Amino acid sequence: MDVNKYITSGILELYVAGTLSEEENLEVARNAEQYPEIKEEILAIEAAILALSKAAAPLRSGSKGFNDIMRRIAALSDTKVITMTDSKTNWFTYVGWAASILLATGMLWMYNQNTQLKSEINVASQTNEVLEQQIFEANTSLEKSKELLNTIRDKNIEVIALGGQTVSPTSYAKAYWNKAEQKVFIDAKGLPEPPDGMVYQVWSLKLSPLTPTSMGLLEDFKNDDNKVFAFANPNESEAFGITLEPAGGSESPTLEQLYTLGAV
Amino acid sequence: MELEILVSHFQSKDMKAFEKLYAMYSENICGVINTIVKNTDLAEEICQDVFMKAWNNAESYNASKGRFFTWIMNIARNAAIDELRSKSNKNSKQNLSSDFFVDILESKDDLNSQMDTIGIQNLLKNLKEKCVQIIELLYFKGYTQKEAAEELDIPVGTVKTRNRNCISQIRGNIAI
């Protein structure tokens, strides 16, 4: 390449002016790298323009100075976020807020619904437990009744009716005696509720001579549902009697308080 | 090479490098702007804006496509011309195509010739008006070769050579 011709063509002056095409710019830059004369020429042209433009500068040029620039850069990094939200993103901000409020409201509603449903489930499951308990109890009660019925229907059972006595003529009771198993069931449904501090006591009697043997107490008479009480009875009983005794029972029956009596 | 390092530091947002570049070119950039807006206060204001623009767009400068000064001068020209066209200057009588920068240079020279290392009279000594015109169009107003040719009503090829001759004269005047 004829470097001198290239220089004198005036392309370098236009390069410094910045009026060349991008392609031409690249070409000049490449040549400047390759030929030091070209690079020097470019610097000399630039120096001329620098001198000229400096001469055209305002008298107080640079009075604001770099401090002003630094202040503005600092302010720029401080307020960048604010300016962005201020200018273009207003619409987005509103939509954003609206969306978050909607979301929050929705979540609150869902939360309330959830809590309510949970409490409903809780109540339902509690009711369920109560019902299950009742079913269980009913079943148990049914079992007991069946068992009782079976016991009473046993072919070895001897039924003894106990009639009301002087102190309470309307009272009655029944004794179901399974001699083989040495068990006696007393059905005391026909007895009045004992007064407080008193308890019924069941006696096995031998008649001649009259020998009472305590079989036990009708404990917790008031709260017993079916009023059927089971006792062990290894005695050769000839009669059964029920007397009212002070709580805890007595050694021997208080005959004045004999409520029912029945002979085998 | 010093300049290249400085510019690359500036591009990676090195404030110190930026300060040096500002010291090197701020007067020139303010001068370029002043030739266009012809208002020293406004020129200074725009000048600071131009350096802010340069800082914010530092990464867009590519050394393979031109000189750093050419790049920032281009930003300055565009900013100054935008300012002239903006609403705030709608009523201004200033006109892009008349009033050569030499007026500014001369008036400034009258006011304070001691400030300049190279006096403007010396710089423009023996320079013909057609030189002043073509330099103003190409360097201070950013005209392309073709636009300058149309403006001055001369062949495109003549723009290049005439400009070369004019710049050479200034260079000669600097050397004196």
Place of tokens 């031109």: B66
- List the single best residue of B44, B146, B161, B166 to mutate versus A (max A Cβ within 10 A): B44
Contacts of A240 (CB under 8 A, 6+ apart): A160, A162, A175, A184, A186, A202, A203, A204, A205, A215, A261, A262, A264
**What SS3 class is residue A150?**
helix
Is A15's Cβ below 8 Å from some Cβ in B?
yes
Q: What is the pLDDT of residues A146-170, one digit of tens each?
A: 887 887 788 888 899 999 998 889 9
pLDDT tens per residue across span A216-264: 999 888 888 788 888 998 888 899 999 999 988 898 898 889 999 999 8
With residue A126 as reference, give the H or E element that holds it: helix A90-153
Three-state secondary structure call for residue A2? coil
pLDDT of res. A228: 87
Residue B101 has pLDDT above 80, yes or no: no
- pLDDT-based confidence at residue B114 (cuts at 50, 70, 90): very low
Closest partner CB to B160 (pick from A9, A66, A76): A9
DSSP calls for A176-197: EEETTTTEEEEE-TTSPPPPTT
The residue type found at A44 is: A
For residue B6, is pLDDT > 80?
Answer: yes
Edge-first strand order for the sheet with A183-187 is A211-217, A198-206, A239-246, A258-263, A157-164, A173-178, A183-187, A228-232
**DSSP, residue by residue, chain B:** -HHHHHHHHHHTT-HHHHHHHHHHHHHHHHHHHHHHH--HHHHHHHHHHHHHHHHHTGGG--GGGS-HHHHHHHHHHHHHHHHHHSGGGTT----SSSS-HHHHHHHHHHH-GGG-SS-HHHHTTT--HHHHHHHIIIIIS---HHHHHHHHTS-HHHHHHHHHHHHHHHHHHHH-
- Tokens 């266009």 belong to B36
| A positions 66-95 inside 8 Å of B (CB) | 66, 68-70, 72-73, 76
Question: Regarding beta strands A239-246 and A258-263, do their DSSP bridges make them parallel or antiparallel, or are they unpaired?
Answer: antiparallel
Model confidence at B11, pLDDT cuts 50, 70, 90, reads very high
Is A50 in Cβ contact with B161 (below 8 Å)? no
A21 in reach of chain B (CB within 8 A):
no
What is the model's pLDDT at position B107?
58
CA A193 – CA A127 distance, rounded (Å) = 34
pLDDT digit string (tens) for A24-69?
Answer: 999 999 999 999 999 999 999 999 999 888 887 776 655 678 888 8
Residue A61 half-sphere exposure, CB side, CA atoms within 13 Å? 27
Q: Do B44 and A68 touch (CB under 8 A)?
A: no
**Measured between alpha carbons, how far is A61 from B134 in angstroms, rounded to an integer?**
25
Residue A65: CB atoms within 10 A of its CB come to: 14
Q: What is the pLDDT of residue A214?
A: 92
| B34:A56 CB<8 A | yes
C-alpha closest to that of A234 among A186, A185, A190, A180: A180
A86: closest CA of chain B, how far (Å):
20
